[in-house]
A and B are shown apart, each in its own frame.
Chain A
Amino acid sequence: MSGDKPGLFLRLKAGLNRTATSLGDGVSALFNKRKLDHAALEDLQDLLIAADLGPAVAARVTEKLAAERFDKEISEQEVRSALSDVVVDILAPVERPLRIDAEHRPHVVLVVGVNGTGKTTTIGKIAKGLRDQGKSVVLAAGDTFRAAAIEQLEIWGERAGAIVVRREVGADPAAVAYEGLERARAEAADVLLVDTAGRLQNKADLMDELAKVVRVLGKLDGTAPHDCLLVLDATTGQNALRQVEVFGEVCDVSGLAMTKLDGTARGGVLVAVAERFGLPVHFIGVGEGIDDLQPFGARDFARAVAGL
């Protein structure tokens, strides 16, 4: 979505490489001229688990390897590319950019997720990307709960060049979303991005609140929200599966973004998520800056995971 400036790509690569090296190093330590026997497969499985793929997915990946090459001498390069192939198989179908439909005026994107994953920041980054493409953007400050959440979104709005619709602290988030949609229509804006407060998926009342936002948007435009973006944090472990499941039930999540891939967290749970839910992955976040957002690329992600 945002222009492919070389600086950004390098930064992404640096981020993903860190992900890759730790896993990749493990693989190379294991498979330098080694037989792919039971012990080796078990070690490989551990390496994948250490990347947050989760025990089940890790087991399947190694099973595939075993089926093809059991008890053969296997080079490090072969292991990595086989590993990458399996991961690509899982991730390729979910590599899909966020598509803004010009038929919708505005195209409404509801952004949801648990606390602190990076929703507000990602909205700022997406808004910037859209503005760079010449689209007009309105942001709705639907987090009326957290201290200074509204101010935070306003600053992002300023940085990105987007209008921010806000109401007072404690206002009904659904009402803010509604107003945001009205305003976006009045401005004939291309896109409305609705920020929401972070919420843990096991809090029934907060999830109801979210369902209400969806309902109320639907009152003004029967087809809205057109996208519901769930923001996942790469440092999160297996709970991410639960997040996708429950948010999916409540607000019909249409796509994912994964943030904080610029640390050492490998975000491998995304592979498990993709395998189980098949939801499109639109973006990855690789830093705190406004340009630190990249379209998700299955091949890059998989190759990085495999250390290629």
Chain B
Amino acid sequence: MFDSLTGRLGEVFDKLTRRGALSEADVDAALREVRVALLEADVALPVARDFVAKVREQAVGEAVVKSVTPGQMVVKIVHDALVETLGSEATEINLNAVPPVPILMVGLQGSGKTTTTAKIAKRLQDRDKKKVLMASLDTRRPAAMEQLKILGEQAEVATLPIVEGQMPVDIAKRAIQAAKLQGFDAVLLDTAGRMHVDEALMAEVAAVRDAVQPAETLLVADSLTGQDAVNVAQQFNERLSLTGIALTRVDGDGRGGAALSMRAVTGCPIKLLGIGEKLDALEAFHPDRIAGRILGMGDVVGLVEKAAETIDQQDAEKLAKKVQKGQFDLNDLLDQLRQIGKMGGLDGLMAMLPGVGQMKKQMAQANIDPKLLKRQEAIIQSMTAKERTTPKLIHASRKKRIAAGSGTSVQDVNRLLKQFKQMSGMMKKVNKLGKKGLMRQGLPGMPGLPGAPGLPPPR
């Protein structure tokens, strides 16, 4: 859907370089592409404007104009400026206050406040060895208090007993009181979702803030947010003096421009990223990753980490051994296909890879559709154990049976076998690098991702 900025700029500069030296107008043309890329990534318009102006100052310098690869030069300048704007310093949750330290969680409806409250509590308790109490001030959403209570049980974090009919400010006071008496280090206050233009509800949460004087007031915001991100962040900040932002659903395939918007308009650090629904799916903010995503350059670090997460080290070593001994068979290919599936399928992988735009084009040209994985899995599953270990056995009649069993065609089966053969060939080559070389590449078999031409290996 989105061509990466690199691709876009490549096109612009291709046209330009043929004419020789770049003019200032050429740089402007490139910056227009930067602007569109930012907007496509949901960076809010005023923020994109300011940002491009800032980059322009650096980009009109000699370096770009004289550079042999002006496109890459601009991308680098943009990327670095993004990282700088996003804030390169890692900021932790601030617990520098007299315990129990109150932490107030606020945000729009459904942004992920309750989940993030439990994630932070779990992290403070497990990692930082703090005694944490959680309390829900959400008196409106059906079963909101129940939700936090269950999450508390899952995370083994204490929650304030629910008292029906109490107002948010009173619950907050009761939480602080209970935490004082019971020697808690921190109190996390989850609040109901609210629109920043809902005057009554904004006044309600401001009253809570005044009553408890939180050390942290965190805005929990969806990383998939569009242009509205500036309004939301600005108004929550004006009303509550935010101390930080937690971005959720970073595990999605959004481009994450909201991160830049919110950081730019509030000046608040982005403290944490939510990367899943489970309670341990929380991580520190990495500006370079988000910058890469916004530019459509892919989240390479994320990809490698995800691979490490999904792929069992032992399995990987076992596979490496098999490859070394030349015993890689269709069972192993099946495993590989499943691993890729677990990592979010081809589409999920591609979303994280650099140069996605270009690759998608290549894939389309080569007629590779993302459902291929499933089909290929089905084909191997329709083979007998013997066929999987000794693919040579698979002749015409067997192919027919396999095709019928997997709901595919003989052509599909042929294609898979051919790919397998190519892969085995490649494995042998990789093999020559020795085991170390193979393991360093991280993902054995990935270079041979069936049929994906030019899939760039993770750098």
Interface stretch (choices A2-10, A172-180, A263-271): A263-271
Interface stretch (choices A60-68, A111-119, A296-304): A111-119
Bound Cα distance A55, B151 (Å): 41
The answer to whether A114 touches B249 (Cβ under 8 A) is yes
Bound Cα distance A269, B226 (Å): 9
What 0/1 pattern do residues 121 to 149 of A give for CB contact below 8 A with B?
00000000000000000000000011111
Bound Cα distance A205, B197 (Å): 38
Interface residues of A in 79-104 (CB under 8 A from B): none
Bound Cα distance A18, B197 (Å): 9
The answer to whether B112 touches A116 (Cβ under 8 A) is yes
Bound Cα distance A195, B325 (Å): 51
Report if A252 contacts B (CB, 8 A).
Answer: no
The answer to whether B146 touches A118 (Cβ under 8 A) is no
Q: A18-B197, A54-B40, A204-B344 are in contact. Are A233 and B351 (CB under 8 A)?
A: no
Q: Lowest 7 A-B CB distances belong to which pairs? A: A237-B226, A116-B110, A237-B42, A148-B147, A155-B142, A265-B228, A147-B150
Please name the residue on chain B nearest to A47 by beta carbon.
B45
**Within 8 Å CB of B151, what residues of A?**
147
Q: A237-B258, A239-B254, A241-B1 are in contact. Are A156 and B344 (CB under 8 A)?
A: no
**Within 8 Å CB of A266, what residues of B?**
227-228
Interface residues of B in 89-110 (CB under 8 A from A): 108-110
Bound Cα distance A260, B110 (Å): 10
**Within 8 Å CB of A18, what residues of B?**
197
The answer to whether A148 touches B222 (Cβ under 8 A) is no
Interface residues of A in 19-60 (CB under 8 A from B): 46, 49-52, 54-55
Report if A200 contacts B (CB, 8 A).
Answer: yes
A sample of 24 inter-chain contacts (CB < 8 A) reads A18-B197, A49-B39, A52-B228, A147-B150, A152-B141, A200-B249, A202-B253, A202-B344, A204-B344, A205-B342, A233-B110, A235-B228, A238-B42, A239-B253, A239-B254, A239-B255, A242-B253, A246-B347, A263-B108, A264-B196, A264-B197, A265-B227, A288-B140, A288-B141
The answer to whether A148 touches B345 (Cβ under 8 A) is no
Bound Cα distance A236, B226 (Å): 5
**Residues of chain A whose beta carbon lies under 8 Å from any beta carbon of chain B:** 18, 46, 49-52, 54-55, 114-118, 145-149, 151-152, 154-156, 200-205, 233-239, 241-242, 246, 260, 262-266, 268-269, 288
Nearest-CB distance from B120 to chain A (Å)?
16
Bound Cα distance A239, B293 (Å): 13
Bound Cα distance A246, B350 (Å): 15
**Within 8 Å CB of B112, what residues of A?**
115-116
**Within 8 Å CB of B108, what residues of A?**
235, 260, 263
The answer to whether A55 touches B39 (Cβ under 8 A) is yes
Nearest-CB distance from A42 to chain B (Å)?
10
The answer to whether B195 touches A263 (Cβ under 8 A) is yes
The answer to whether B142 touches A152 (Cβ under 8 A) is yes
**Within 8 Å CB of A268, what residues of B?**
227
Report if B424 contacts A (CB, 8 A).
Answer: no
The answer to whether A50 touches B154 (Cβ under 8 A) is no
Q: A49-B227, A202-B344, A239-B254 are in contact. Are A117 and B146 (CB under 8 A)?
A: no
Please name the residue on chain A nearest to B192 by beta carbon.
A288
Report if B44 contacts A (CB, 8 A).
Answer: yes
Report if B11 contacts A (CB, 8 A).
Answer: no
Main secondary structure of the interface of A (DSSP, over half): loop
Nearest-CB distance from A54 to chain B (Å)?
7
Q: A115-B112, A262-B195 are in contact. Are A204 and B341 (CB under 8 A)?
A: yes
Nearest-CB distance from A193 to chain B (Å)?
16
Bound Cα distance A263, B110 (Å): 13
**Residue A156 contacts which of B111, B142, B197, B342 (CB distance < 8 angstroms)?**
B142
The answer to whether B226 touches A52 (Cβ under 8 A) is yes
Number of chain B residues whose Cβ lies closer than 8 Å to a Cβ of chain A: 52
**Within 8 Å CB of A204, what residues of B?**
341-342, 344-345, 348
**Within 8 Å CB of A55, what residues of B?**
36, 39-40
The answer to whether A237 touches B147 (Cβ under 8 A) is no
Bound Cα distance A156, B112 (Å): 20
**Residue B228 contacts which of A46, A146, A152, A264 (CB distance < 8 angstroms)?**
A264
Interface residues of B in 332-355 (CB under 8 A from A): 341-342, 344-345, 347-348, 351
The answer to whether A52 touches B227 (Cβ under 8 A) is yes
Nearest-CB distance from B67 to chain A (Å)?
27
Bound Cα distance A265, B108 (Å): 11
**Within 8 Å CB of A148, what residues of B?**
143-144, 146-147, 149-150
Bound Cα distance A93, B150 (Å): 45
Nearest-CB distance from A27 to chain B (Å)?
14
The answer to whether A115 touches B249 (Cβ under 8 A) is yes
**Residue A151 contacts which of B36, B42, B143, B154 (CB distance < 8 angstroms)?**
B143
Report if B225 contacts A (CB, 8 A).
Answer: yes
Bound Cα distance A242, B277 (Å): 20
**Within 8 Å CB of A202, what residues of B?**
251-253, 344-345, 347-348, 351
Nearest-CB distance from A239 to chain B (Å)?
4
Bound Cα distance A202, B154 (Å): 26
Q: A49-B227, A147-B151 are in contact. Are A200 and B253 (CB under 8 A)?
A: yes
Bound Cα distance A264, B254 (Å): 21
The answer to whether B222 touches A49 (Cβ under 8 A) is no
**Within 8 Å CB of B252, what residues of A?**
114, 200-202, 239
Report if B232 contacts A (CB, 8 A).
Answer: yes
Report if B298 contacts A (CB, 8 A).
Answer: no
Please name the residue on chain A nearest to B152 by beta carbon.
A147
The answer to whether B228 touches A116 (Cβ under 8 A) is no
Report if B231 contacts A (CB, 8 A).
Answer: yes
Q: A148-B150, A235-B232, A288-B109 are in contact. Are A114 and B143 (CB under 8 A)?
A: no
The answer to whether B222 touches A236 (Cβ under 8 A) is yes
